[in-house]
A = this chain, B = another copy of it.
Amino acid sequence: MAETTKIARNSGVAVWRQIADEIRREIKHGHFKRGEKLPPEMTLAARFGVNRHTVRSAIAALTQEGVLRAEQGRGTFIANAKRLTYPISKRTRMSTSLAEQITQQERVILSHRIEKPSAEVAHALQLSDENAQVHYFETLSIADGQPVSMSDSWFDQQRFPQFDEFYKASGSVTKALKQSGVEDYFRKSTLISAQHANGQDLLHLKLTPGAIVLTAQSVNVDTNGVPVEYSATRFAADRMEFSIESMSLNEE
């Protein structure tokens, strides 16, 4: 309650930054529990003896760091930290890889359409036919009620004409591919990058502006080495990390 914290004016360090540092320190030292509400902006402004906007700058910085999460009308909350681990291995299956870490998971197909592949997709799926068509799916993965990833995936429509029916019926890529005649498949290559969340990500993954998404672009192939799926999945970076066990990785 008391204005115990000293804010140094004209010290070379911006006031908003000092406030952010202090709030971060207090969270770290357990003054707040995860999920708990931070005092309102006006209260903090009074406590630190600054304008509300200065507090807002500090909160904005901490939000961006992933330390806080603000919700209009409700308040500002202490974000929780722990990440799920997603193993990237030859036989990674979305549905089984997280099973041990969570109690409940769900996959929602947001949209599906048949389209002409972009150059990127055609190259990944090795489609040389001028008239090639692909199934395009946009899916959302939810673990324990919280969205963790959004995925764009493409499948050869000529080779798998009924794939969409199978996929929609079973909700499983593995099952749909099996019904389409692909007994088994493997992850061939994965490209990992990170960028800021875009509008779509913010909406579906329930992120705040400034949040980070970890992107994995992967090509899955059948037992003959022919690509069957190309996908680009965007994970909420504060909820997920990737692990690669490479004792039998390629030499090169």
Contact = CB atoms under 8 A, between A and B. Distances in A.
Given A194-B194, A210-B210, A246 B189 contact: yes
A24 to B, nearest CB: 10
Nearest to A192: B242
B242 A191 contact: yes
Nearest to A87: B252
Q: Chain A interface residue count: which class?
A: 35 or more
A246 B216 CA distance: 14
Interface string A216-252: 0000000000000000000001101111111111111
A91 B240 CA distance: 26
A190 B250 contact: no
Nearest to A90: B249
A89 B251 contact: yes
B187 A249 contact: yes
A44 interface: no
A246 B193 contact: no
Contacts of A83: 193
Interface in A176-193: 186-193
Contact of A246 (B187, B237, B247): B187
A195 to B, nearest CB: 7
B193 A90 contact: no
Contacts of A88: 244, 246, 249
Nearest to A61: B209
A243 B194 contact: no
19 contacts: A61-B209, A83-B193, A88-B246, A89-B251, A90-B247, A90-B248, A90-B250, A91-B251, A91-B252, A186-B246, A188-B247, A189-B244, A189-B245, A190-B243, A190-B244, A191-B241, A191-B242, A193-B214, A244-B244
Given A85-B191, A187-B246, A191-B241, 19 more contacts: A61-B209, A64-B64, A64-B209, A83-B193, A87-B252, A88-B244, A89-B251, A91-B252, A186-B246, A186-B247, A188-B246, A188-B247, A190-B244, A191-B243, A193-B214, A193-B237, A212-B212, A246-B250, A247-B250
